[in-house]
A and B are shown apart, each in its own frame.
Chain A
Amino acid sequence: MKKLINYTPSTATRLFLGLLPFALLLLVYMGASEARLAENPNDRLLPSLTQMGDAIERLAMEPSKRTGELTFWQDTQSSLIRLLSGVAIAALFGLVLGLLTGALPVLNAWLAPLLTVISLIPPLAVLPILFIAIGLGEASKITLITIGIAPFIARDIQRSTQQIPTEQLVKAQTLGASTLQILMRVLLPQIMPRLIDAVRLSLGAGWLFLIAAEAISSTDGLGYRIFLVRRYMSMDIILPYVMWITLLAFLFDYLLGLLNRRLHPWSEGTNA
């Protein structure tokens, strides 16, 4: 018998082990839901899968009587636009700031302390300031996401830039490279895979800030809907929405990982 630490499961076993908890969770839920509904058919706490399906079908297929829109898709679209704008701005900002402070000691001395302090401000504490300063519209929600994750991305990129071996910078200079050429040709391309990784890691926080902003001030969006129907204890809507958000988050993470491997085949063996 091998030691446990040396036992590596086969692909089939791995798949089975990975899916098992999901199946168990589903079974436990269905059992509990059935038991509660048998006792009280009007129970709202643990709706059956059919009830959830019906609720989402209503929201996704039938135009809302009030706005004429397909609520589910409208919510998804609004949330995604906010999330992706916020993340894109944060990524761009974080990349530029992180790369420059990581590569140039002068800029590091000037901006790194400020960046460290800013990254320690809890973003949600700033939300009221954003509402006061730029209103309750889209801009404040996107800004919250940006403020929430840009410092993290910037610091991650700064650290990755500093970790690129000095030998490469010296080598580039002995080949005649200027500061700008080193930034553009040596550092930036090597930082891109790290940027994608940083965005993947910060998407979770991005969703958090999105839902928080939508819960407080919005007229549509996935987070808005969840908090709206909470008043009616509509678990048949909340649970599918949470699963939908989780699925979207998973897809983004998976696609970014795929993109990283496609774009940067060299990044498996770092620091040649």
Chain B
Amino acid sequence: MSEPLIQATNVGKTYGQDVILERVNVDVHEGEFITLVGASGCGKSTFLKMILGTEQSSTGSLLLNGKPMPNEPGPDRGIVFQQYSVFPHMTVLDNVVAARGFQKASLTGLLFGRQKRQARDDAAAILEQVGLGHALKRYPHELSGGMKQRLAIAQAVICKPKILLLDEPFGALDPGIRADMHALILDLWKTHKLTIFMVTHDLKEGFYLGTRLWVFDKLRHDPQAPNAYGASITYDLPVSQEGRDTLDEITRQLGASRPTIPYKETA
């Protein structure tokens, strides 16, 4: 097998006394589609932010292509947040054209002439692919939640990142729209040969979408000091081969270790 794209060895994260993550050991290869599930505050988003570059690991080593993970966000790792990830002052088309312009090393990233026409054509094409071809001139506040997320995805994809990070991207969307978004993300994953990490609250979504499912949970639990031990990856499953039984078992286990239901189905 080829060199892993991302290699985590004993990765841990602590904030002062609170241990969030501990002993995370995983390898990720190019082209994988990993879904991260777990209860709120279990560290799955923290792990995503470490890959994004806005958080750094406190212990262990996290490698990208064999080198330490950069300590700030960069163009090789695209992101779609649950909200606020499009620019409200630009039209749909300009949002994507600007993404192309930022790649140019200039003061403002504004494009002119032939470059601008090229970027507009590319942007229009990708917006067509994500289903926003009819809304190029609209501003984000005129879009529905699903359309905003489509725009955020288009922005990320036009920069051709190797890794696409999705932080609960569909958490605020209606179930019907979620299904459309799943189809879209799978389509983009295949056509652009992306490696995707997606944090989700919805275990079913995790099973259906990815090639690999990570469940974040605490291995050890001290009732006197709930934050003394951090979470780790308790299940690392190649989900395409796993059946419904495993899903039920994990649901039961996550439910048993917590006083409250660890995830809820958004309906």
Contacts and interface: CB of A to CB of B under 8 A. Distances in A.
A190 B156 contact: no
A18 interface: no
A66 interface: no
A168 interface: yes
Contacts of B54: 170
A175 B84 contact: no
Interface stretch (B25-33, B97-105, B256-264): B97-105
Interface string A157-192: 000000001011011111111101100111001100
Given A167-B81, A272-B84, A173 B74 contact: yes
A204 B111 CA distance: 41
A174 B84 contact: no
Contact of A271 (B73, B88, B108, B161): B88
Contact of A174 (B90, B148, B159): B159
B69 to A, nearest CB: 14
B89 A174 contact: no
Interface in B43-95: 52, 54, 72-75, 77-79, 81, 83-90
A174 B79 contact: yes
A174 B78 contact: yes
A264 B89 contact: yes
B141 interface: yes
Interface in B101-160: 101-103, 105-110, 139-143, 148, 152, 155-156, 159
Contact of B141 (A167, A168, A186, A266): A266
Contact of B98 (A178, A185, A266, A268): A185
A268 B103 contact: no
Given A184-B108, A269-B139, A176 B88 contact: no
B200 to A, nearest CB: 18
Contacts of A173: 72-75
A175 B140 contact: no
Interface residues of B, number: 40
B131 to A, nearest CB: 18
Contacts of B105: 178
A176 B159 contact: yes
B102 A177 contact: yes
A206 B8 CA distance: 59
Interface in A79-103: none
With a 10 A CB-CB cut-off, give which of B52, B73, B143, B161 has the most chain A CB atoms: B73
Contact of B107 (A176, A184, A265): A184
A119 interface: no
A271 to B, nearest CB: 6
Contact of A186 (B87, B139, B142): B87
Nearest to A181: B109
Nearest to A182: B102
A272 B86 contact: yes
A13 B152 CA distance: 45
A190 B90 CA distance: 10
A197 to B, nearest CB: 15
A144 to B, nearest CB: 34
Given A168-B84, A270-B141, 15 more contacts: A165-B84, A168-B87, A173-B72, A174-B73, A174-B77, A174-B79, A180-B107, A181-B109, A184-B107, A185-B108, A185-B110, A189-B89, A266-B139, A271-B88, A272-B143
26 contacts: A165-B84, A167-B81, A167-B83, A167-B85, A168-B87, A170-B81, A171-B81, A171-B155, A174-B52, A174-B74, A174-B75, A174-B77, A174-B156, A175-B78, A175-B98, A176-B99, A180-B108, A184-B107, A185-B110, A265-B139, A266-B141, A267-B88, A269-B139, A271-B84, A272-B86, A272-B141
